[in-house]
């Protein structure tokens, strides 16, 4: 064995296929005799469906079938379920309106699925979809969550009066009110966390296939959690036996949360495949992605921080209105509650916190988890407040943070979480040094000499990752477990295939997980392959989201590896005629302690499959173990970001001059991959703060429906990133890992907006800080 594999920047095993065009994304799959689906979508944000005439479409060349909501209802196809039940402040369950896969009676957002046309070719399906005539009675629509709560607002669902899904609260309101009453200073902000459209580069796609021979279905789908997709679809929507459905999520071109969910198209192509007795393929074009992928964020929040005269935090009060869109997507209800409110302590000792969240239905696409999912919104609240408080109290923003850092662990927050470990001084101190904060004043002067404004901003974020302890999630309303599964299959000649319920769609699990396996077994990484994304191969899995893969999925693999090693020890003891207790495993070799007797791992594996000399009385042949792992706590990655910007006074254009990120992800397996995750996360966070704004007009039309109107960052919008890590190993998993996938998107928006408001000398301004928004803020400030 060469250098240690844990902590090594091993180049990725998956790269060769992606670099040579050999990846197999869902749209790259072509099945014999496949047909193509095109969806008829509502052009109206809110409309009664009076009549659908599909006669012309059915006669169009190549058309195989046209289905509407009535067909699905007649076939008893259920609606899409929500996986998380929130109980409101009155102890009542949230309002869960039906979420039909094809609209029934009413369309509730632009892009809502109204009918599907299936034809021999994609062009024939699209041509015929144009011929489906839908009589709509257009209704007034509302896209803004605050407006949807107002009296007289258009009503979306009969079962949700006032468009309210739930009002939910966490924390001790009385204690918070009392603390505010004696505060020396209160900082208050009223802001919007802008709605975002995820935009994974690979659009969603799904191919349904049915076999009459054994009454089985296969769904190829661009998805982050194939087992969850199968469970939801079979148990809640189609009522199919789970063992008759295989879900394959092969190569997936990015997800960022948007491919966690069970979507209407996935159900429709699966169901329709049996009806037409042919495979049915659908691939979103980008316009459909904009309209119908689950969006992210969209909060309106009023937040107040109470402090004593020295800047010690006394209490935090937060009131948030969260837009759910027209229907509840798979995890929608959990995002602005469980994954948001519980993070509002941040890195600080704020003793009491109260948060109230009102979730609202509007005539917009469903809103669900998008990279960070609740945690970016929480960090934005806390870190914008803290920075603003520092300016108001004329305390250095880094100092104010240090004054309030949590330093004793484990730490029980007033919002339900128990932080196991962290060192917030370490990341902040490192970031301050790397960013040369002490030289900022002279750089600011230099900028001023050029007629430009310069600002500096911090964000010290925390996130809860590695979800979850299933029992905790269950007590909070989760309708699913949140463990992970792994299987280690040792082949007779000693190489290893590992099956994981985690899913990789850019994160590089095939490499990182292989490093873990090869390190633990003491074998070359070339002898290890990682398999994911196919319910027919993997025993079970909850999939990849919430930065949970290495902490939960990786640990499940470690548990299975330890079982393999333990069984191998028994076999080795037999082969070596030694007591099992005397056998130790060291870097691929079973040794009898204190002797020179040993067996290589490969020899033991061979004996397990060619058991001529084998302890049959004690052991089964074979070397194949699996494990399920349900963590005892969340993990708590945290870090400090420092951002420095320049603003052009003439144009309002912001340029990022410096970006420093120091993260604590616990133990790191592959620093190269981790840095890449941080870069990508920061880029999406910068996108939120600088360029990305999902905008619906007053009638509910999406006016930012393409890459030309909705600006995801391009290469020349972004700087180089200086990233580093500090390490406090997680205390409750064997690898000491915490997860790194979302950190950048969580910490970046607050750091950037803190820098921009510093440069402009304004208390607040809305995201995204486009040149127009910045220019307007400067103009208003002059006028004031």
Partner 1 sequence: MAVKVSLKVNGKAVSAEVEERTLLVTVIRENLRLTGTHVGCDTAQCGACTVSMNGKAIKSCSILAMQAEGADIMTIEGVAKPDGTLHPMQAAFKEHHGLQCGFCTPGMVINAIDFAKSHPNPSELEIRDALEGNLCRCTGYHNIVKAIGAGARAMAGR
DSSP string for 305-325: EEE-TT--EEEEEEEEEEEEE
184: contact with partner 1 by CB under 8 A? no
Q: Which is nearer to partner 1, 115 or 673 (CB)?
A: 673
According to the binding rule CB under 8 A, does residue 742 interact with partner 1? no
Contact between 649 and 711 (Cβ < 8 Å): no
Residue among 712, 724, 727, 771 that touches partner 1 (CB under 8 A): 712
Given a contact cutoff of 8 angstroms between Cβ atoms, the answer to whether 756 and 457 are in contact is: yes
Q: Which helix (H) or strand (E) holds 65?
A: strand 63-68
Nearer CB in complex with partner 1: 352/674:
674
- Tokens encoding 707: 């890459």
Residue 682 binds partner 1, judged by CB under 8 A: yes
Interface with partner 1, residue 715, by CB under 8 A: yes
Contact residue for partner 1 among 37, 207, 322, 673 (CB under 8 A) = 673
**Shortest Å distance, C-beta 122 to partner 1:** 9
Per rule CB under 8 A, is residue 691 in the interface with partner 1? no
Which burial class, exposed, middle or buried, applies to 735 when counting CB atoms under 10 A from its CB (0-12, 13-18, 19+)? buried
Cα 83 to Cα 232: distance, rounded to the nearest angstrom: 9
Please state the closest distance from residue 22 (CB atom) to partner 1, in A. 7
- Residue in 6, 8, 23, 140 binding partner 1, rule: CB under 8 A: 23
Considering only 408, 714, 782, 784, the residue that binds partner 1 (CB under 8 A) is 714
Q: How many CA atoms lie within 13 A of 52 on its CB side?
A: 29
Of 242, 285, 308, 697, the one binding partner 1 (CB under 8 A) is 285
- Does 683 interact with partner 1 (rule: CB under 8 A)? yes
Q: Is there binding between residue 152 and partner 1 (CB under 8 A)?
A: no
Give the Cα separation of 270 and 581 in Å (integer).
53
Supply the minimum distance, in Å, between the C-beta of residue 355 and partner 1: 31
Q: Is the dihedral of CA 496, 500, 506, 509 positive or negative?
A: negative
Interacting stretch for partner 1, rule CB under 8 A, among 435-443, 572-580, 682-690, 749-757? 682-690
User: Of 50 and 703, which CB lies nearer to partner 1 in the complex structure?
Assistant: 703
32 binds partner 1 per the rule CB under 8 A: no
Strand ranges across the sheet with 583-586:
583-586, 589-592, 598-600
Among 537, 649, 679, 695, binds partner 1 (CB under 8 A): 679
Q: Is 203 in the site for partner 1 (CB under 8 A)?
A: yes
Which H or E run includes 49? Answer: strand 47-53
Region binding partner 1 by CB under 8 A among candidate stretches 247-255, 302-310, 348-356, 362-370: 247-255
Q: How far is CA 576 from CA 420, 608, 666, in A?
A: 43, 14, 39
User: Applying CB under 8 A, does 43 fall inside the site for partner 1?
Assistant: no
Do residues 758 and 455 touch, judged by C-beta distance below 8 A? Answer: yes
Q: Does 381 bind partner 1 (CB under 8 A)?
A: no
Q: Which is nearer to partner 1, 387 or 510 (CB)?
A: 510
Choose, by CB under 8 A, the member of 12, 452, 667, 726 that binds partner 1: 12
Of the residues 163, 199, 223, 225, which one makes contact with partner 1 according to CB under 8 A: 199
Q: Give whole-number Cα distances, 661 to 262, 547, 719, 748, in Å.
A: 34, 18, 13, 9
Q: How far is the CB of 295 from partner 1 (least distance, A)?
A: 15
Applying CB under 8 A, which part among 252-260, 311-319, 491-499, 602-610 lies near partner 1? 252-260
The DSSP bridge partners found for residue 283 are 205
Nearer to partner 1, 19 or 610 (CB): 19
CA distances from 631 to 14, 467, 545, 634 (A): 28, 8, 15, 7
Q: Which of 78, 469, 680, 749 binds partner 1 (CB under 8 A)?
A: 680
The distance of closest approach from Cβ of residue 288 to partner 1 in the complex, given in angstroms and rounded to an integer, is 9
Name the nearest CA neighbour of 208 among 238, 178, 188, 252.
Answer: 238
User: Does residue 62 touch partner 1 according to CB under 8 A?
Assistant: no
CB 339 within 8 A of CB 464: yes
Indicate the length of the chain as a whole number: 784
Q: Which stretch binds partner 1 (CB under 8 A): 43-51, 241-249, 316-324, 505-513?
A: 505-513
Of 229, 251, 534, 625, the one binding partner 1 (CB under 8 A) is 251
The reply on whether position 672 binds partner 1 by CB under 8 A is yes
665 lies in the site for partner 1, by CB under 8 A: no
**Closer CB to partner 1, residue 276 or residue 718?**
718
668 touches 735 (CB < 8 A) = no
Contact indicator for 330, 316 with CB cutoff of 8 Å = no
| Cα–Cα distance measured from residue 375 to residue 359, given in angstroms and rounded to the nearest whole number | 17
Token couple for 505? 């769609």
Q: Phi, psi (5° rounding) for residue 527?
A: -85, 5
Task: Provide the b/e sequence for 69-97 (b: ≥16 CB within 10 Å).
Answer: bebbbeeebbbbbbbbebebeeeeebbbb
Kindly state the greatest CA–CA separation across the chain. 90
Query: Are 315 and 176 contacting, i.e. CB atoms less than 8 angstroms apart?
Result: yes
**Phi and psi angles of residue 357, each rounded to the nearest 5 degrees, phi first:** -125, 130
Give the x/- contact pattern for partner 1 in 516-545, rule: CB under 8 A. Answer: ------------------------------
Nearer to partner 1, 295 or 300 (CB): 295
- Distance, CA of 748 to CA of 1 (rounded, Å): 40
Q: Least CB distance from residue 768 to partner 1, whole Å?
A: 16
Binding residues for partner 1, how many (CB under 8 A)?
57
Does residue 17 interact with partner 1 by CB under 8 A?
yes
Piece of 48-56, 424-432, 440-448, 716-724 that binds partner 1 (CB under 8 A): 716-724
The phi and psi torsions of 687 (rounded to 5 degrees) equal -55, -45
Decide: is 630 part of the binding site for partner 1 (CB under 8 A).
no
Sites of contact with partner 1 (CB under 8 A): 11-12, 14-25, 27-28, 30, 123, 199-203, 251-254, 256, 285-287, 505-508, 672-673, 675-676, 679-684, 706-708, 712-716, 718, 720-721, 744
């Amino acid at each position: 064995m060469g250098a240690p594999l844990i902590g090594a920047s091993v180049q990725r095993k998956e790269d060769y296929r992606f670099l040579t065009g050999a990846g197999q994304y869902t749209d790259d799959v072509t099945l014999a005799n496949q047909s193509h689906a095109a969806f008829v979508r509502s052009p109206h944000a809110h409309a009664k469906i009076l009549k659908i005439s599909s006669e012309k479409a059915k006669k169009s060349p190549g058309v195989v079938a046209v289905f509407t909501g009535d067909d699905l209802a007649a076939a008893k196809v259920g609606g899409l379920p929500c996986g998380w039940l929130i109980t409101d402040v009155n102890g009542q369950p949230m309002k869960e309106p039906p979420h039909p896969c094809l609209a029934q009676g009413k369309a509730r957002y632009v892009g809502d699925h109204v009918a599907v046309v299936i034809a021999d070719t994609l062009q024939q399906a699209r041509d015929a979809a144009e011929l489906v005539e839908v009589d709509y009675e257009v209704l007034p629509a509302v896209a803004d969550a605050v407006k949807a709560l107002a009296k007289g607002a258009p009503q979306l669902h009969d079962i949700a009066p006032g468009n309210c899904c739930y009002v939910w609260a966490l924390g001790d309101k009385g204690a918070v009110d009392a603390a505010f009453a004696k505060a020396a200073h209160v900082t208050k902000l009223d802001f919007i966390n802008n709605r975002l459209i995820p935009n994974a580069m690979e659009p969603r796609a799904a191919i349904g296939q049915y076999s009459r021979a054994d009454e089985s279905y296969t769904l190829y789908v661009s998805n982050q959690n194939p087992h969850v997709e199968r469970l939801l679809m079979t148990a809640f929507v189609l009522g199919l036996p789970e063992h008759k459905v295989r879900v394959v999520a092969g190569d997936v071109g990015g997800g960022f949360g948007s491919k966690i969910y069970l979507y209407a198209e996935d159900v429709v192509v699966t169901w329709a495949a049996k009806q037409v007795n042919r495979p049915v393929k659908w691939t979103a074009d980008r316009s459909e992605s904009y309209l119908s992928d689950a969006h992210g964020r969209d909060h309106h929040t009023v937040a107040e921080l109470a402090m004593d005269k020295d800047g010690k935090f006394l209490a935090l009060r937060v009131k948030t209105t969260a837009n759910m869109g027209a229907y509840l997507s798979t995890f929608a209800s959990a995002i602005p509650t469980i994954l948001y409110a519980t993070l509002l302590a941040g890195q600080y000792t704020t003793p009491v916190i109260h948060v109230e969240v009102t979730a609202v239905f509007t005539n917009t696409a469903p809103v669900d988890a998008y990279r960070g999912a609740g945690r970016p919104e929480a960090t934005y609240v806390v870190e914008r407040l803290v920075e603003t408080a520092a300016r108001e109290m004329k305390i250095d923003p880094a100092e104010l943070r240090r004054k309030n850092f949590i330093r004793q662990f484990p730490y029980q927050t007033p919002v339900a979480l128990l932080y196991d470990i962290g060192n917030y001084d370490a990341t902040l101190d490192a970031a301050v040094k790397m960013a040369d904060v002490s030289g900022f004043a002279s750089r600011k002067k230099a900028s001023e000499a050029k007629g430009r404004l310069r600002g500096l901003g911090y964000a010290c974020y925390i996130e809860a990752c590695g979800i979850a302890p299933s029992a905790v999630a269950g007590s909070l309303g989760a309708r699913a477990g949140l463990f992970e599964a792994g299987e280690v299959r040792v082949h007779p000649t000693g190489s290893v295939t590992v099956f994981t319920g985690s899913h990789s769609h850019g994160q590089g699990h095939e490499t990182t997980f292989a490093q873990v396996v090869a390190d633990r077994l003491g074998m070359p990484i070339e002898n290890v392959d990682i398999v994911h994304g196919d319910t027919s191969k993997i025993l079970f899995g909850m999939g990849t989201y919430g930065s949970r893969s290495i902490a939960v999925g990786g640990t499940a693999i470690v548990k299975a590896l330890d079982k393999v090693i333990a069984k191998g020890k028994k076999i080795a003891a037999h082969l070596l005629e030694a007591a099992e207790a005397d056998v130790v495993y060291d870097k691929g070799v079973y040794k009898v302690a204190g002797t020179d007797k040993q067996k290589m791992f490969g020899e033991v594996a061979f004996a397990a499959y060619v058991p001529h000399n084998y302890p049959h009385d004690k052991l089964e042949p074979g070397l194949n173990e699996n494990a399920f792992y349900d963590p005892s706590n969340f993990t708590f990655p945290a870090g400090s970001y420092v951002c420095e910007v320049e603003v052009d006074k003439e144009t309002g254009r912001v340029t990022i001059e410096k970006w420093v990120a120091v993260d604590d992800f616990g133990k790191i397996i592959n620093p190269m991959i981790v840095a890449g995750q941080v870069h990508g996360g920061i880029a999406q966070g910068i996108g939120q703060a600088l360029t990305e704004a999902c905008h619906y007009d007053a009638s509910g039309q999406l006016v930012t429906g393409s890459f030309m109107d909705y600006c995801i960052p391009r290469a020349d919008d972004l700087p180089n990133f200086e990233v580093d890590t500090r390490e406090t190993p997680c205390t409750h998993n064997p690898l000491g890992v915490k997860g790194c996938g979302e950190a950048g998107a969580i910490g970046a928006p607050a750091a950037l907006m803190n820098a921009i408001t510093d440069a402009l000398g304004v208390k607040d301004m809305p995201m995204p800080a486009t040149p127009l928004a910045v220019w307007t803020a400067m103009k208003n400030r002059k006028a004031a």
